[in-house]
Amino acid sequence: MNSEQFKSMIRNIPDFPRKGIQFKDITTVLKHPECMQWVVDQTAAIYRDKGITQVVGLESRGFIFAPAIAMKIGAGFVPVRKPGKLPADTIEVSYTKEYGTDTIQLHKDALKPDDVVLIHDDLLATGGSALAAVELVKKAGVKKIYANFVIELDDLEARKLFKDIEVQSLIHY
């Protein structure tokens, strides 16, 4: 498996969830274990030596690969969820996304000051949810933050919004 083979398996859904958006659907690659393994292996290779202690996965598609990446690099997994889904005390951040507003939450005790965190999600488009996750993780007072995505939509230039965060993506459109 290489990046072009992986890219060829991603389905494009025009006008979803609203007109003008070209949705990159990764469910087509999830049917193939070699595709899932490729994402985990490629991502682990990038972060294996960066001292990551926790991988933060964003609801919902960030949950698909983040736990496997965490296991591969010897880190824990921390979910970032929508309101009302986490059972203990939380901290939260609200943000604007390309087609509305949303709020995400993290358990107050999920991260510690000496943690090195990898924030993982499936797609970097306008950056709203990922930047909200960065803000949320910063509220927890961690040592260092990295951000990783399976797919990045380069024309939207969201990468530029991550001022002090190293951003890596496996596939670019």
pLDDT tens, 42-97? 999 999 999 999 999 999 999 999 999 999 999 999 999 999 999 999 999 999 87
CA angle 31, 68, 86 (to 5 degrees): 100
Among residues 36, 42, 69, the alpha carbon closest in space to that of 53 is found at 69
Average pLDDT over residues 13-21: 91
Pick the catalytic residue: 59, 92, 98, 135? 98
pLDDT of residue 135: 97
In sequence order, which residues have a C-beta less than 8 Å from that of residue 2 and are 6 or more positions away? none
Q: What is the rounded average pLDDT for all residues in the chain? A: 96
User: Catalytic residue at 98?
Assistant: yes
pLDDT of residue 18: 86
**Residue 104 reports pLDDT greater than 70:** yes
User: Catalytic residue at 81?
Assistant: no
pLDDT of residue 81: 98
Stated pTM of the model: 0.95
What does the alpha-carbon distance between residue 150 and residue 171 come to, in Å, rounded to a whole number? 6
pLDDT of residue 157: 97
**Residue 100 reports pLDDT greater than 90:** no
Is-cis flag, bond preceding 3, omega within 30?
no
**Residue 98 reports pLDDT greater than 70:** no
Going by pLDDT thresholds of 50, 70 and 90, the confidence category of residue 171 is very high
Beta strands in the chain (DSSP E): 11-14, 22-25, 54-58, 76-80, 90-97, 100-107, 116-124, 144-152, 166-172
Domains annotated on the chain, with CATH: 49-172 (3.40.50.2020)
pLDDT of residue 99: 67
Pick the catalytic residue: 61, 81, 152, 159? 61
**Residue 139 reports pLDDT greater than 90:** yes
Structure tokens belonging to residue 133: 């996750």
What does the alpha-carbon distance between residue 78 and residue 57 come to, in Å, rounded to a whole number? 6
**Residue 143 reports pLDDT greater than 70:** yes
